[in-house]
Structure 1
């Protein structure tokens, strides 16, 4: 009798523990390298709210901004080993893990902002997004990151010739380095977190990025010329490690993807406002904004297009993007 009571007690304990496990909230840890005032971070906050509401409190997001857990590359590596769940990276960094994303680094590939959205939301965008899964990195969506342009400390960039002899910071991206080289500059890969100091100390003469990043990083305090040649459109990518994704139930995956998709719409709205504000504020701070003749820059990068003729995958994607309405 006593033995039976002990067995029953043990079974009750196991059941209670099991119920406790089932009732636990599943926390998704996500890290990124941007300021908390950036549209990406604000979109993530909304993503977290929507996920908690959609899942009835069974899932929530824990956000680590401002490179708290490392650079974009380091965060991707943490995803691969399962030490972090999600991150946001530029496709320029992601191309080192998902080769098809190199296509985004080809300069002047998109006609305008709407064309880029049409591509990202199409089957072509989805094909590129899925390329990282073979490397344990599942792309969930693209966030808008606008167009990238050059900013410099001491010399305005009116034509490609003005880049000659200048050391320009780029991401760890082969296509970005090829582009700067084709335009006559010297490409210097430096992590985002080290760039302000590198500009101050003269390690590099300038960099290239979108208006909100230029503004929120306070790089305008050092660089007083911003040349809007808008050479590349490099979206951000929300990525989840496949180790984390595969541990989620199908319902949890659906909740997360739905919340991510909703946050994309919100982030694009935030981005448009942030871009306009950034240009206004840096101009107020004494930055000279230059709108050069883009055709001069386009003519200098034709060699990059030619270079992909021997790469059937990128060449095919490039033509699909160009042909997208």
Structure 2
């Protein structure tokens, strides 16, 4: 009896080992991908990422699961990118601006008036030029999968609208911490002031700044519309959010799993387009009716003309930026 039991144990161990080897060889095992971002659970991007997670699980028959960590639980954009490079985090959503330190081509998305309008923006983001850029960071630890619309950025101010570049003279505008925004505001005649987003509200109140620039949701989610009563639709930039995936994690997926992840990512971008439009409409209505913000239409031609030398300089200094801008121009 002891010999029979021993034989059964050996057979069981061998069988388990063979199954494990088979799973390892074909990579057919359950994989959980950690996806971290700094947005809350009500944000349209988080909702799109939740759909992405469900789609990935469905398309892989449960082989690949995506676990989402919102609200900056695993750190800020830069911190998570570093974790992602070593595979500690599988995926993250970051602003294209955060990727400029990894590949100069991403600077193209931070420049003013590279997109004629929203339709041109979506055509450009779906172009082969952008898909090539996504893979250019593979050796640096991650690749791009897709993008999410974060809207057109415009100026909003406390006392007066910005209807032409001359209106920015002497006006202190909060900018994010990258050079192209500083250069843009200077080119338009304003005074750029670098500040963390969390300090914008009190800085508007105290007069440290006279305005800022973002999309309509800053007025409501950030409550900036309680102080800044003029939103001017100059729509100078459209900086996308990029969904990126660790190279280490990507290479460990089967071809079928990779295809499923890519398909789910693309589908989430499509669904997010509707979610974002609804969020913008809601923010504008809320700002108008409850905060007393006035929205102003703007002739963009003088703004485009004012920043043209800046775009030329960036194109001359950065060949990859020039290639992307040329590709975008061909889609107008």
Structure 1 residue ranges (4+ consecutive) displaced by more than 6 angstroms after TM superposition: 16-23
**Is the radius of gyration larger for structure 1 or structure 2?**
2
Distance 1:35 1:206, change over 3 A: farther
Q: Indicate the residue corresponding to 2:80 in structure 1.
A: 75
Residue 11 (str. 1) matches residue 14 (str. 2): yes
Give the TM-score taking structure 1 as reference length: 0.88
What is the CA-CA distance between 1:256 and the residue it aligns to? 1.0
What is the CA-CA distance between 1:323 and the residue it aligns to? 1.7
Residue 102 (str. 1) matches residue 107 (str. 2): yes
**Aligned pairs (5 A) from 1:1-325:** 7-8=10-11, 10-11=13-14, 14=17, 25-192=30-197, 195-196=200-201, 199=204, 204-284=209-289, 285-307=291-313, 308-325=315-332
Query: Which has the higher mean CA deviation after the structures are superposed, 89-98 or 214-223?
Result: 214-223
Query: Which has the higher mean CA deviation after the structures are superposed, 47-56 or 150-159?
Result: 150-159
Q: Deviations over 1:68-102 (max 9, x none)?
A: 22222222222123221111111122222221111
Query: Which has the higher mean CA deviation after the structures are superposed, 30-39 or 14-23?
Result: 14-23
Distance 1:66 1:220, change over 3 A: farther
Distance in 2 (alpha carbons) for counterparts of 1:146 and 1:25: 36
What is the CA-CA distance between 1:236 and the residue it aligns to? 1.2
Distance in 2 (alpha carbons) for counterparts of 1:186 and 1:132: 34
Distance in 1 (alpha carbons) for counterparts of 2:214 and 2:140: 27
Structure 1, unpaired ranges of 5+ = none
Distance in 2 (alpha carbons) for counterparts of 1:165 and 1:290: 20
Q: Secondary structure at the match of 1:301?
A: helix
What is the CA-CA distance between 1:20 and the residue it aligns to? 9.6
The CA RMSD measured in Å over matched residues stands at 2.7
Query: Which has the higher mean CA deviation after the structures are superposed, 70-79 or 117-126?
Result: 70-79
Q: Secondary structure at the match of 2:147?
A: strand
What is the CA-CA distance between 1:127 and the residue it aligns to? 2.2
Distance 1:5 1:266, change over 3 A: closer
What is the CA-CA distance between 1:264 and the residue it aligns to? 1.1
Structure 2, unpaired ranges of 5+ = none
Query: Which has the higher mean CA deviation after the structures are superposed, 211-220 or 249-258?
Result: 211-220
Distance in 2 (alpha carbons) for counterparts of 1:201 and 1:25: 54
Query: Which has the higher mean CA deviation after the structures are superposed, 175-184 or 106-115?
Result: 175-184
Q: Deviations over 1:10-37 (max 9, x none)?
A: 4356457779998863211111222322
Distance 1:197 1:158, change over 3 A: same
User: In the alignment, is the contact (CA less than 8 A) between 2:154 and 2:231 conserved in 1?
Assistant: yes
User: In the alignment, is the contact (CA less than 8 A) between 2:104 and 2:318 conserved in 1?
Assistant: no
Give the TM-score taking structure 2 as reference length: 0.86
Q: Secondary structure at the match of 2:316?
A: coil
Q: Secondary structure at the match of 2:114?
A: coil
